[in-house]
C-alpha cells in the first residue's frame, strides 16, 4: 500500500511505500518454510515465535533504493543461512587483531570480503529506523524512546563514532 507523506529519510513530501523495519529479504532468510520455523521476536517483556514483519509507510521509493544499495543487499548476501555464512567464513580465514579462549576481534577493514562501509551503514540504518519512526508492533501499548539521528537522507556516523559488529555462530 502506498500513502502520501513526508519521507523520514529525505524529508520530501511524496508517495511513501510500505517500508520494512528489518528488510524483507532478511525476514525471509530467518524462516524455514520446509519446517515452518519462524523468527523469534524479542521485545520488552517477552519473546515469541512470529511471522509478523514490522512495516509502515515510512520511506519514499528512492530512499528504499538507497537503503537497499547501502547495506541491505550486502548484508543479505553475507548473513547466516542453514548451509552458508559468508561473513563468518571470511572472518575465519583472516588473522584476528585480538583473541583469547572466548573472544576474537578483527579489524574489519583488513579482512578480505568484509565491506565495513556496507555493514556499518546497515547497522546504523536499523538503529536509525527504530529512532526515526514509531513502527506499529503487533502488540499494542509498548512505548519506545525516540533518538535523534541523521537528516536529509544522511545516515552518517560522526568521525569519532565507532560501530562494533558482533558475528555469532550458533552450534
Q: Which residues bind Zn ion (CB under 5 A)?
A: 7, 9-10, 60, 63
Q: How far apart are CA 69 and CA 148, in angstroms?
A: 23
Of residues 66 and 91, the one with the C-beta less far from Zn ion: 66
Q: Which three cell numbers stand for residue 131?
A: 529512532
Query: Cell match 521509493: residue?
Result: 61
Of residues 106 and 128, the one with the C-beta less far from Zn ion: 128
User: How near is the Cβ of 101 to Zn ion at its closest, in Å?
Assistant: 47
User: How near is the Cβ of 66 to Zn ion at its closest, in Å?
Assistant: 8
User: How near is the Cβ of 64 to Zn ion at its closest, in Å?
Assistant: 8
Q: How far apart are CA 152 and CA 132, in angstroms?
A: 12
Of residues 63 and 132, the one with the C-beta less far from Zn ion: 63
Of residues 63 and 111, the one with the C-beta less far from Zn ion: 63
Judge contact between 11 and 155, C-beta under 8 A. no
User: How near is the Cβ of 56 to Zn ion at its closest, in Å?
Assistant: 14
User: How near is the Cβ of 42 to Zn ion at its closest, in Å?
Assistant: 29
Q: How far apart are CA 23 and CA 40, in angstroms?
A: 16
Q: How far apart are CA 73 and CA 112, in angstroms?
A: 18
Of residues 60 and 114, the one with the C-beta less far from Zn ion: 60
Q: Which runs of E-coded beta strand occur in 27-171?
A: 39-43, 46-50, 55-60, 98-99, 104-105
Amino acid at each position: 500500500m502506498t500513502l502520501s507523506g513526508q519521507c523520514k529519510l529525505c524529508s520530501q513530501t511524496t508517495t511513501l511505500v510500505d517500508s520494512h523495519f528489518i528488510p524483507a529479504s532478511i525476514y525471509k532468510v530467518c524462516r524455514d518454510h520446509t519446517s515452518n520455523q519462524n523468527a523469534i521476536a524479542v521485545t520488552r517483556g517477552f519473546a515469541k515465535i512470529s511471522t509478523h514483519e514490522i512495516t509502515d509507510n515510512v520511506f519514499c521509493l528512492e530512499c528504499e533504493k538507497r537503503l537497499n544499495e547501502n547495506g541491505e543487499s550486502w548484508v543479505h548476501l553475507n548473513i547466516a543461512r542453514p548451509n552458508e555464512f559468508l561473513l563468518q567464513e571470511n572472518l575465519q580465514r583472516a588473522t584476528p587483531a585480538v583473541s583469547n579462549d572466548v573472544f576474537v576481534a578483527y579489524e574489519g577493514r583488513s579482512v578480505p570480503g568484509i565491506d565495513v562501509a556496507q555493514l556499518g551503514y546497515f547497522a546504523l540504518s536499523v538503529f536509525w529506523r527504530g529512532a526515526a519512526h514509531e513502527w506499529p508492533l503487533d502488540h499494542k501499548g509498548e512505548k519506545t524512546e525516540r533518538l535523534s539521528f541523521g537528516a536529509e537522507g544522511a545516515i552518517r556516523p560522526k568521525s569519532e563514532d565507532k560501530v562494533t559488529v558482533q558475528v555469532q555462530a550458533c552450534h
